[in-house]
Amino acid sequence: MKFINGFTAKIVLLFIFFLLGCGSRGESVNQDLIQDLKNLTAFDSKKHKVVLIMPSSGCSGCIAAVEEFVRDNKFPSLFLILTNSVSQKDAVYRLNLVNPLCDYFWDSNKTFYDSKDSEAIYPKIVYWNDGDWLNSRVVIVKPENPNAMVELWDYLINLKF
């Protein structure tokens, strides 16, 4: 009985450890991302309320949807980070950022692209919480989250009017 109790306890502990491990990887990625944003000189937390992090390769459908959104919507409160992309010239032309109404950052050092993160292939939206920036909300634009771009548009338009 004593053996069973000990064994069960170990299994439960292991299970909890795995559960915590799963959760903490995604959270720590987001925490790192928020910290990197906070440290980014080009990012103005007073002006920029939403950050859109756009890889140029990965989930092609998700990236195409975000690029289409950016071509049509350049709110001043939106801040773009173009990451894991080879050509700045191509990206600027593709997204119509020659004289943009919103600011963007060309992430040549891939600071905002963690190749070990399984969700790096998706664009990310950061709803910046300036009062409690560590609790800023990170939304992944992926097929399982089809309302991500509608929610973003609603948020930006409500900031405007």
Partner 1 sequence: MKRYLSIILSLFVVLSCGQPRVLELPLTSERKVLLGPQEILKVPLDSVTSLFNSLNESIIINGMPKLLIFSQNTNRLIQYDINSGLIERDVLFPKEGPDALTGIDFSSGMHYVNSDSIIFMSSSMGKIFLANELGKVYSKFDVLNDSIVLGSFDLRSQLAYRNGSLFVQSLPKRVGRNKSEFANRRLTISEYNFKDKKLTQHPLYFTEVYQEYSFSQQLQSVGFVFSKSLDRFIISYPLSDSLYLTDFKNYYESIPFKSNLVKRAFEQDSKNKEIAPERISSYYNWLSDAYIQLMYDESSGYIYRVARSGISHEQFEASDFYTTKEVLVMDGNFNVKGKISHSGSSLMYHFFDRDGISWNANFREFNMSRNNEDTLYFEKYEIY
Nearer to partner 1, 56 or 145 (CB): 56
- Applying CB under 8 A, the residues found at the interface with partner 1 are 57, 84, 86-90, 93-94, 108, 115-116, 121
Choose between 75 and 105: whose C-beta lies nearer to partner 1. 105
CB of 161 to partner 1, least distance (A): 34
Residue 1 structure tokens:
């009985």
Cα(35)–Cα(43) distance, integer angstroms: 12
Question: Nearest distance from residue 107's CB to partner 1, in Å?
Answer: 13
Minimal distance, residue 60 CB to partner 1, in Å:
8
Minimum CB distance to partner 1, residue 51 (Å): 22
Q: Which is nearer to partner 1, 46 or 116 (CB)?
A: 116
Distance CA 102, CA 94 (A): 15
Residue 140: its H or E element = strand 137-140
Q: How far is the CB of 140 from partner 1 (least distance, A)?
A: 15
**DSSP track, 7-61:** HHHHHHHHHHHHHHHHHHHHHHHHHHHHHHHHH-TT--TTT--EEEEEESSSSHH
Q: Which is nearer to partner 1, 6 or 61 (CB)?
A: 61
Determine the Cα–Cα distance for residues 4 and 7; give it in Å rounded to an integer: 5
